[in-house]
């Protein structure tokens, strides 16, 4: 691993090292404004908005249960805090330390009509449950010819970098599941989106994997609507209009791209269009391609390693659908093809400086 990291540092260059070291965080969080049409709102961070969504789900659906490792006392990130006290041990409860068992139990509950919300303590731990999710949950409806399904299953998992997680607490596994028809994969960028998207997943007719960027849990608070509301799956958000370059990301990376778009405007007088993909599976091909046809240049950024990251699928689709509109090759800025490092995390992440360098290369191509 040291050899690869040394190579990475050389690739980044001296200036990038200085930029990475001087940055206390690889992004700046800009809180979003509440939609007034959704009614009254209260300040919540993402952890609180997820807790609120689970509270509403349990209150509105008597078959709903929440379970996972340590959820009874609130979980590692406190997203289930107070729920057992309110709804009882029969509806919010701890499970053994067995991710395959958690997923299998959730599939069984959903198959008989219950609403199952399972928590995998870290997304890195989801791999023992991979067989259950990919070969059972995703295929249940298909193997029975639509006679039964386990669409009432939602699997929550904290994902991505957190500043000190290293190898086993920092991974972004969305691309693994994007290859699986029958699942829906969702990644929120903040409190307002997290609540609405989680409630949509819980009520969705297909099993959903809801990946929560853990570094956002206690990020800036937003005015989150207090009412029960849902947000559409499979629809990207255009957060900033532009005509020069399309920037595509999801989760934490959306905040990096929003910040780098501001820098590009200030330093280069370049107007970037910023897209939050929101849903990895299915993803909004129409919104992405319409943007790329307008700008002619595109950069995709994600924390997962470059090779076979979900950016590869987006790039391939853009090449097919937008080839005659492109003014430069599709650019990808991602994690390096190494295990996730500890002290070298600032050099691993696709921060604003690496993204800005990619923008310059696209402009000068």
Of 23-32, 71-80, 85-94, 327-336, the one with minimum mean pLDDT is: 23-32
What's the chain's average pLDDT?
92
3-class SS string, the chain: CHHHHHHHHHHHHHHHHHHHHHCCCCCCCCCCCCCHHHCCEEEECHHHHHHHHHHHHHHHCCCEEEEECCHHHCCCCCCCCCHHHHHCCCCEEECCCCHHHHHHHHHHHHHCCCEEEEECCCHHHHHHHHHHHHHHHCCHHHHCCCCCCCCCEEEEEEECCCCCCCCCCCCCCHHHHHCCCCCEEECCCCHHHHHHHHHHHHHCCCCEEEEEEHHHCCCCCEEEECCCCCCCCCCCEEEECCCCEEEEECCCHHHHHHHHHHHHHHHHCCCEEEEECCEEECCCHHHHHHHHHHHCCEEEEEEEECCCCHHHHHHHHHHHHHHHHCCCCCEEEEECCCCCCCCCHHHHCCCHHHHHHHHHHHHHC
- pLDDT exceeds 60 at position 122: yes
Count Cα atoms within 13 angstroms, Cβ side, for 53.
29
More confident residue, 339 or 18: 339
pLDDT digits (tens, 9 = 90+) for 283-333: 999 999 999 999 999 999 999 999 999 999 999 999 999 999 999 999 999
pLDDT in tens, 179-192: 999 999 999 999 99
Pick the catalytic residue from 26, 169, 255, 302.
169
Q: pLDDT grade, residue 25 (50/70/90)? A: low
Whether the predicted pLDDT of 49 surpasses 50 = yes
What's the predicted TM-score (pTM) here?
0.92
State the pLDDT at residue 17.
38
Mean pLDDT within 82-104 = 98
pLDDT tens for each residue of 284-294:
999 999 999 99
Check if 164 is active-site. no
Say what the pLDDT of residue 14 is: 39
pLDDT for residue 39:
85
What is the mean pLDDT of the segment spanning 201-217? 97
Q: Is 99 a catalytic residue?
A: yes
Distance separating alpha carbons of residues 355 and 344, to the nearest angstrom: 18
Annotated catalytic residue within 99, 259, 273, 357:
99
Domains and CATH numbers, the chain: 2-30+235-364 (3.40.50.920), 36-225 (3.40.50.970)
Q: Which two tokens stand for residue 341?
A: 């490092």
pLDDT at position 31 is 80
pLDDT tens column, 225-234? 999 999 999 9
pLDDT above 70 covers a percentage of the chain that reads: 93
Instruction: Catalogue the long-range contacts made by 331-334 (C-beta closer than 8 Å, 24 or more residues apart).
Output: 331/297, 331/298, 331/299, 331/300, 331/358, 331/361, 331/362, 332/299, 332/300, 332/301, 332/306, 333/299, 333/300, 333/301, 333/358, 334/300, 334/301, 334/302, 334/303, 334/304, 334/305, 334/306, 334/309
Q: Is the pLDDT of residue 7 over 70?
A: no
């Amino acid at each position: 691993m040291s050899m690869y990291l040394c190579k990475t540092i050389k690739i980044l260059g001296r200036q990038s090292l200085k930029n990475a070291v001087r940055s206390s965080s690889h992004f700046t969080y800009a809180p979003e404004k509440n939609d007034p049409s959704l009614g009254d709102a209260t300040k919540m961070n993402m952890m609180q908005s997820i807790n609120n969504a689970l509270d509403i789900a349990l209150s509105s659906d008597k078959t709903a249960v929440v379970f996972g490792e340590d959820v009874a006392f609130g979980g590692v990130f406190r997203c289930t805090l107070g729920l057992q006290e309110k709804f009882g041990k029969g509806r919010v409860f701890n499970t053994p330390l067995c991710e395959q068992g958690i997923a299998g139990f959730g599939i069984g509950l959903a198959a008989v009509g219950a609403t199952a919300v399972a928590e995998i303590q870290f997304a890195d731990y989801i791999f023992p449950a991979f067989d259950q999710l990919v070969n059972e949950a995703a295929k249940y409806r298909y193997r029975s010819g639509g006679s039964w399904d386990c669409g009432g299953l939602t699997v929550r998992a904290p994902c991505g970098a957190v500043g000190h997680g290293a190898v086993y607490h920092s991974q972004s596994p969305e691309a693994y599941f994007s290859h699986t028809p029958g699942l829906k994969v969702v990644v929120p960028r903040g409190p307002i989106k997290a609540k609405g998207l989680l409630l949509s997943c819980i009520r969705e007719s297909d099993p959903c994997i809801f990946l929560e960027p853990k570094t956002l849990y206690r990020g800036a608070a937003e005015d989150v609507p207090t009412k029960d509301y849902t947000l559409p799956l499979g629809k990207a958000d255009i957060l900033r209009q532009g005509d020069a370059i399309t920037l595509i990301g999801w989760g934490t990376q959306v905040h990096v791209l929003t910040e780098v778009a501001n820098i590009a405007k200030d330093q280069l007088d370049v107007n970037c269009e910023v897209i939050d993909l929101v849903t990895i599976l299915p993803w909004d091909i129409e919104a992405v391609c319409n943007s790329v046809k307008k700008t002619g240049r595109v950069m995709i950024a994600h924390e997962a390693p470059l090779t076979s990251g979900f950016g590869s699928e987006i790039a391939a689709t853009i090449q097919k659908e937008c080839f005659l509109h492109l003014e430069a090759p599709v650019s990808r800025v991602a994690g390096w093809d190494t295990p996730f490092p500890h002290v070298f995390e600032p050099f691993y992440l696709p921060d604003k400086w690496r993204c800005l360098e990619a923008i310059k290369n696209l402009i000068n191509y």
